[in-house]
Amino acid sequence: MFQKLEAVKEKYEELSRLMSDPKVISNPSEFQKYAKEQADISELVDKYEVYKDVLKQIEDTTALLRDSKGESDFQELARIELEELEKKKGRLEDEIKLLLVPKDPNDTKNIFLEIRAGAGGDEAGLFAAELFRMYSRYAEKKRWKVEVLDSNSTGVGGFKEIIALIEGKGAYSKLKYESGVHRVQRIPVTETGGRIHTSTVTVAVMPEAEDVDVKIDQKDLRIDTSCSSGPGGQSVNTTYSAIRITHIPTGIAVNCQDERSQLKNKNKAMRILRSRLMEIEREKQEAEIAQSRKSQIGSGDRSEKIRTYNYPQNRVTDHRVGLSLYKLEAVLDGSIDEFIDALTTSDNAERLKGL
């Protein structure tokens, strides 16, 4: 660990020298690149300096204890101080190990949230709408921006599918564990016999891809236009503003019709397509990782049942970490931090094993 920390410190000092170089200062893009690299490791370097200082204090206090024979009061104080220093050392080691774990490069990105009704007909569609509200309320509490890009309603207040862009610092780091099948157990309003029905909704969370992440050849795209449908004002069914972009090599198709402008819909559809293609590449890479690394939080596979919302018991259970909360209404109102924190802790613990 010391070798790694010394290497990081040397890199930090080298970056400081580079950022003082007049040639680098005169090149804003290069300076910004080095500044970002330095910012990414600054917390680790600071923690390392504090850690070294604590080790020195432990060494000095131990020497004082050894040299203060017969001075019982002084020895007692030194022993108490040494005990506190050892505790601080342990805490710092845990924090440093966590900072040494390679960060997910997508953690700072915005996300595309895709929610689709699964088994259960209208009931699944209604729950898809409730999950969208849950994530919207969570985003609102984080002061993130939510923008609906495309939706397909069921006609009874639910969604067959809804796609939204959530913009905010760390959006992917918080919501990346939400991908998978969410199961709801409750008595539908239309059920006269009082039987509990089980329905499912699929959630996909993808980091927003940038132009540098995915290169798309225009020759690989087929772009179709059509009249918009559903609510939207005078231009609905009169202008060809709805866009459907198909990526021919993969067969991925993206629809977007929420804007009246064809150009705006095209730009939004391209953003979604770029992120879907990046997600396919990410899933390929994940498939190559050993099963032992995938950890108890699961692979994030969209076919994997991750959470159950049980209305009769007022219970929400995350099956990956075995956490149950008996406050279903609060969870559906966006209070999902306890699940996110538990999943993040579990993932970090598995990642630490690989150090």
pLDDT for the residue numbered 45: 92
294, 332, 298, 290: which is closest to 315 by C-alpha?
Answer: 332
Domain ends where: 238, 259, 285?
285
Instruction: State which residues form the domain around 52.
Output: 2-100
Distance CA 216, CA 341 (A): 36
User: pLDDT band at 291, cuts 50/70/90?
Assistant: very low
Q: Which of 129, 309, 293, 275 is nearest to 205 (CA)?
A: 275
Query: What span, in angstroms and rounded, lies between the C-alpha atoms of 146 and 115?
Result: 14
239 pLDDT more than 80: no
Number of domains in the chain: 3
- Predicted pLDDT at 283: 72
Strands 305-310 and 197-207, sheet pairing: unpaired
pLDDT at 301 over 90: no
Nearest to 351 by CA among 300, 278, 289: 289
Dist CA 103 CA 173 (whole Å): 10
φ and ψ at residue 333, rounded to 5 degrees:
-95, 10
Residue 8 has pLDDT above 80, yes or no: yes
The three-point CA angle 32-20-16 to 5° equals: 75
Mean pLDDT of 81-92: 92
**106 is a domain residue:** no
The verdict on pTM exceeding 0.75 is no
Residues 88 and 154 in one domain: no
Asked if residue 299 and residue 270 are part of one domain, the reply reads no
Distance CA 85, CA 134 (A): 44
CATH number at residue 238: 3.30.160.20
Which residues share a beta bridge with 148? Answer: 164
Report CA 228 to chain centroid distance, whole Å. Answer: 32
- Quick check: 287 pLDDT over 70? no
281 and 298 housed in the same domain: no
